[in-house]
Structure 1
Amino acid sequence: MAEEDGKLVGVIGDEDTVTGFLLAGVGHRTMEGANFLVVKNDTPLSLVEETFNRLTERDDIGIVLINQHIANDIRHVIKNYTQTIPTVLEIPSKDHPYDPEADSIMQRVNLMTGGQM
């Protein structure tokens, strides 16, 4: 993808979250795959981890949005991710509120700034 075209947003989340972002025009599908994953109760964690790794390795992705309750399931993978771009943002879902204390990015920010949650 050319620089002037910008970057895509990747989404890993529950059906409501991903559907909302797809309706907003975030979805992109190519021969290599899609920039989103709908995670259901029977979705294997290995697929979630694989999708996270694939999205964060793509040059055309600028941000990866992931529901926090799903991020908690692959926390070991997210903690090992150290790149700035794509940026990984944990977001709430309809059924799971946001907990800043569980967000590894917020933990890093607080550590660097000496702040408290």
Structure 2
Amino acid sequence: MDVGKLVAVIGDEDTVSGFLLAGVGHRTADSTNFLIVKTDTKLQQVEEAFLNFSQRDDVGIILINQHIANDIRHVLKDYTQTIPTVLEIPSKEHPYDPEQDYIMQRVNMYLGGGN
């Protein structure tokens, strides 16, 4: 029986809490599908969470706050898979900037918009 795919979330406390309250949280004895990034969260931990989520068969979408995505942009630029799809989202403190979103940059490139 196919039970579908999970949405993984990497974000600040407000963002992750909101998605968990909406029901996207999944926890097993070994793992979760979310990472709350705080000011003392090490960059390596964020990179490892992204790499882990991107290699899991049960994850279909990875949501990441754009300001956090900017911190691991070097990892995101090397990511070429279609699934899980990576979507950059705004946070309460950081508005969305489409010029920083690598997916939007690729879309513009394919549509002949430059970059």
Instruction: Note whether the superposition's TM-score is higher than 0.5.
Output: yes
User: Structure 1: 5+ residue runs without aligned partners?
Assistant: none
Structure 2 matches for 1:5-24, cutoff 5 A?
A: 5-24=3-22
Which residue number corresponds to residue 76 of structure 2?
78
Q: What is the DSSP-based 3-state SS (H/G/I as helix, E as strand, rest coil) of the residue aligned with 2:99?
A: helix
Residue from 95, 109, 112 that aligns with 1:111? 109
Greater helix share, 1 or 2?
Answer: 1
User: Structure 2: 5+ residue runs without aligned partners?
Assistant: none
Q: Distance in 2 between matches of 1:62 and 1:87?
A: 6
Structure 2 matches for 1:15-94, cutoff 5 A?
A: 15-94=13-92
Number of residues paired by the alignment? 115
Letter of the aligned partner of 1:36 in structure 2? F
Q: What is the DSSP-based 3-state SS (H/G/I as helix, E as strand, rest coil) of the residue aligned with 1:63?
A: strand
TM-score (norm 2): 0.96
Letter of the aligned partner of 1:93 in structure 2? S
Which residue number corresponds to residue 101 of structure 1?
99
Letter of the aligned partner of 1:66 in structure 2? I
Query: Per-residue deviation at 1:41?
Result: 0.4
